[in-house]
Amino acid sequence: MEERQDPWSSSQIKDYQKMREEFGIDSFNYVLEDNLMARRSLFVGQRDFWRIREAIERKDKFAAMTGLMPSGEMHLGSKAIIEQMIYFQKKGAQVHISVADLESYATRNIPLEKARTIAIENFLLNYIAMGLKRCNFYFQSTNARVQKFAFILAREINFTEMRSIYGFDDSKRMLEINSPIIQASDILSPQIYDEPMPTIVPVGADQDPHLRLTRDISSRMNIIKSKTNGKSITFSIGGREDPEPYFNIIRDVIKDSGFEIGKINQKYRTAEVENFEGSTYDLDLKIARKERELNHINSIAPSSVIMRLETGIRGGKMSKSVPDSTISLNEEPDQAEKKIRRAVTGGRESVEEQKRLGGNPYICPVFELYLYHLSSTDIDLKNVEEECKSGTRLCGGCKIEASDLMSHFLSDLKEKRESSRHLVGEYLENGK
């Protein structure tokens, strides 16, 4: 049975290894000492992250893209995504953030004007307070370029594919079916309206279907495709146009890299390069940018880091649709304290058992608060973990400490939100 990935559900993913195997996701094996989530093994997968690592090391141009659903409060799970956007912005990424107001209208029936208010008050102000610098922050409903490109992308997709990826059935409305296509347009637009470049999309594990769809579309829209087998590279030229201009691009780039094409098959529109020892990063980028001269909608398949879903404090996935199990960044500190003190834990049934057998932090939503948000140092996190397992940390005291830390965080964030309000216009299209 498949490990379900549903972008609109509040269900939790139980087996990330199974998820990786079923959906072709690679493990995250990169060392990022300055990235808290990477350091704490909260990235459960990745797609082509090597491109982003290469771009960062070379100080090359690259983009970071995400979206927000303006359907309610920004919660702690959303905070983790924006922390990654801030991280990549500091590494030099051009940041793009889409307000999915068309999607919230299609799937949650939220009027566009209301969605705009939610996006600014519940999300953008928190982004600025958390440290996000100026970026391309836009609304789907007012971005004609994204809408136009979504129309073009729709030509590449049929309902069978949408049903396979998202589980859509015949009862789905066209608005809901169209939403993932607009998201694909969002993800590819940093390249389409600039030039082909590595693009990173940090997502929760439930959002990976959007990346699968977008990467498939990106591949289809490229005329020149390549397949590497060891040191051998085979290029194929799609479409029905005269292949010679595309063969010339391949010849020029390969020659510029210091190698030669071994064989060209005009009938099958392929070219082979043997014993290529250059950089495939350079090769892909040069070919994609040269192809842009002939194909205005080509791109490099977007990369992603896939994040473990944070558990709600009452269990399940932390989701806006389950408010009692979710802590909002706009939550009043005293309300957050009450929620944490009612949280389920990984503790034993009695104090005596807890002292004797210890607790289980690995199934505890309160420990996850420390893991994701409350422990600023790895030493502090390790102490919480070991004290829980040894039985010296009891659930009652742990909840009190966690609620105090969360209260301080929310109070501090509230102050920063209010002091940042005058900056909002700098992030919006046309300043309003």
Q: For 70-128, what is each residue's pLDDT tens digit?
A: 998 999 989 999 999 999 999 999 999 999 999 999 889 999 999 999 999 999 999 99
128-163 in b/e form (b: 16+ CB < 10 A) is: bbbebeebbbbbbbebeebeebbeebbebbeeeebe
Burial class (CB within 10 angstroms; exposed 0-12, middle 13-18, buried 19+) of 109: exposed
Q: Judge whether residue 169 has pLDDT over 90.
A: no
pLDDT at 272 over 50: yes
Asked if residues 218 and 186 have their Cβ atoms less than 8 Å apart, the reply is: no
- Ramachandran quadrant class, 70 (left: phi over 0; alpha: psi -120 to 50; beta: rest): beta
How does residue 1 score in pLDDT terms, banded at 50, 70 and 90?
very low
User: Does residue 110 contact residue 70 with C-beta atoms inside 8 Å?
Assistant: yes
Residue 318 and residue 81: Cα distance in Å, rounded? 13
Non-local CB neighbours of 345 within 8 Å, separated by 6+ positions: 359, 364, 365, 366, 395, 398, 399
Residue 176, pLDDT score: 85
Reduce the DSSP state of residue 270 to 3 states and report it: strand
Question: In the predicted model, what is the mean pLDDT of residues 338-343?
Answer: 94
Question: Looking at 143-216, which runs of residues are DSSP E strands?
Answer: 199-204
Neighbours of 209 (CB within 10 A): 20
Is residue 175 scored above 90 in pLDDT? Answer: no
Predicted pLDDT of residue 84:
98
Q: Is 113 exposed, middle or buried (0-12, 13-18, 19+ CB in 10 A)?
A: exposed
Give CA–CA dist 283/225, Å, rounded: 12
Let me know: does 29 contact 215? Beta carbons within 8 Å: no
C-alpha distances in angstroms, 299 versus 25, 182, 197, 214? 20, 16, 7, 11
Burial class (CB in 10 A: 0-12, 13-18, 19+), 104: buried
Residue 231: per-residue pLDDT: 86
DSSP structural state of residue 196: -
With left for phi above 0 and alpha for psi between -120 and 50, is residue 415 left, alpha or beta?
alpha
Mean pLDDT, all residues of the chain: 93
Nearest partner of 94 among 136, 54, 47, judged by Cα: 136
Model confidence at 144: pLDDT above 90: yes
Q: How many residues does the chain have?
A: 432
Helix (H) or strand (E) holding 67: strand 63-68
Q: 338 is written with which tokens? A: 């009450």
Residue 9 pLDDT level (bands cut at 50, 70, 90): low
**More confident position, 9 or 372:** 372
Better-scored residue on pLDDT, 164 or 43: 43
Tens of pLDDT along 368-411? 999 999 999 999 999 999 999 999 999 999 999 999 999 999 99
Radius of gyration from C-alpha coordinates of the chain: 24
Residues 6+ apart with CB under 8 A from 115: 70, 71, 99, 101, 104, 105, 139
3-state SS class at 237? strand
How do residues 46-61 score in pLDDT, each as one tens digit?
999 999 999 999 999 9
Which amino acid is residue 104, in one-letter code?
Answer: S
Predicted TM-score (pTM) above 0.85: yes
Q: Check if CATH label 1.10.240.10 holds for domain 323-427.
A: yes
Instruction: Answer whether 235's CB lies under 8 Å from 270's CB.
Output: yes
Query: What residue segments make up the domains of the chain, in order of their start?
Result: 16-221+300-307, 224-291, 323-427
Query: What is the H or E stretch that residue 412 is in?
Result: helix 395-420
Confidence (pLDDT) at 5: 57
Mean pLDDT of the 126-153 span: 96
Structure tokens at 83: 């922390």
Instruction: Check pLDDT > 90 for residue 3.
Output: no
Q: What architecture is the 16-221+300-307 domain classified under in CATH? A: 3-Layer(aba) Sandwich (3.40)
Strand order, beta sheet including 263-265: 224-229, 232-237, 270-273, 263-265
Mean pLDDT of 160-173: 88
The domain made up of 224-291 has a fold known as: Alpha-Beta Plaits (3.30.70)
In angstroms, the CA 336 to CA 328 distance is: 8
Encode pLDDT of 232-265 as tens digits: 999 999 988 999 999 999 999 999 988 889 889 9
Q: What percent of the chain stands above pLDDT 70?
A: 97
Share of the chain above pLDDT 90, in %: 81
- Contact, 289 vs 298, CB < 8 A? no
pLDDT of residue 431: 54
Q: Look at residues 214, 194, 218 and name the one whose alpha carbon lies nearest to residue 61.
A: 194
Structure tokens at 77: 């799970």
Closest CA to 98 of 12, 13, 210: 210
Could you give the count of Cα atoms lying within 13 Å of 219 in the half-sphere of its Cβ?
A: 11
